[in-house]
Amino acid sequence: MSRSPVEIVECQSRRPIAAWLHDELGALDLLDAEIVWMPQRLKAVARMLRAGVAEADLPQHRHWNWWDKAYELKMLATGGFGIHCDGQWQGLMMTTTVGHAARLKPQLGKPLVYVKYLESAPWNVKAFAPNPTYGAVGTRLLEAAVRLSLAEGFAGRVGLHALPNPQTERFYQRRGLIGLGPDSDMDNLPYYEFPAAAAMAFLNEGE
């Protein structure tokens, strides 16, 4: 497994924190994360339900299980990424470089990196934790997807389907991805895509 240094943000103090970006995760890494994350998700869901939150208003990714997704790492051109800090996985992402093409003009039909899944640890997600521990985890992972796109010769093009909630969609919009609306082939999940120029601007902002 290779790794490179990155900075995330301690939410309470707003100070930068040193972390590691790992770009060759294996099945055991996903299992290690899920062993810790699942109880945290379940506790957060129980707390919300006791507080009167309707089931329909619970975070859509409360049922995610990274161990169940581990088999996908055996698929052609699928990669696993993770942010590690404070002895824990703070965020995970899975990508693929085959099977998806750009939908935006003028890059229509050109290859891109498709983000299959991206999640921050439950204690970093406001929907689960009223006072999140670390921020910028998702941003660092998205930067990794753009850099993978550049390395593959895809000019920074990245596409993904977002969970249909305002917070998640704002996250992608604020980073320059363009929304193309619900995708009927993917359970009407909203599809977002990075134009090459916007992807480069996003990377430059973080440097």
Which tokens belong to 187?
């359970």
Sign of the dihedral defined by the CA atoms of residues 34, 39, 43, 45, in that order: positive
Task: Give the Å distances, CA to CA, from 161 to 115, 143, 177, 194, 197.
Answer: 8, 16, 11, 12, 20
User: Which amino acid is it at 99?
Assistant: G
User: Which amino acid is it at 105?
Assistant: K
The residue range of the domain holding 180 is 3-206
Residue-wise pLDDT for 61-74, tens only, equals 888 999 999 999 99
Nearby residues of 17 by Cβ (< 8 Å), 6 or more positions away: 7, 8, 9, 10, 85, 86, 134
Nearby residues of 185 by Cβ (< 8 Å), 6 or more positions away: none
Cα-Cα-Cα-Cα torsion 163, 123, 139, 93, nearest 10 degrees, comes to -60
pTM: 0.94
Sign of the dihedral defined by the CA atoms of residues 68, 169, 16, 124, in that order: negative
Closest Cα to residue 203, out of 162, 158, 161, 160? Answer: 158
Residue-wise pLDDT for 82-95, tens only, equals 999 999 999 999 99
Average pLDDT of 111-118? 97
Which tokens belong to 58?
């619970």
Say whether 108 sits in a helix, a strand or coil. Answer: coil
User: Which amino acid is it at 167?
Assistant: Q
Residue-wise pLDDT for 118-157, tens only, equals 999 999 998 899 899 999 999 999 999 999 999 999 999 9
Give the chain's domain count. 1
CATH number at residue 160: 3.40.630.30
Query: Please, are residues 146 and 152 in contact by the beta-carbon 8 Å criterion?
Result: no
Output the pLDDT for position 63.
87
Q: Is the predicted pLDDT of residue 205 greater than 90, yes or no?
A: no
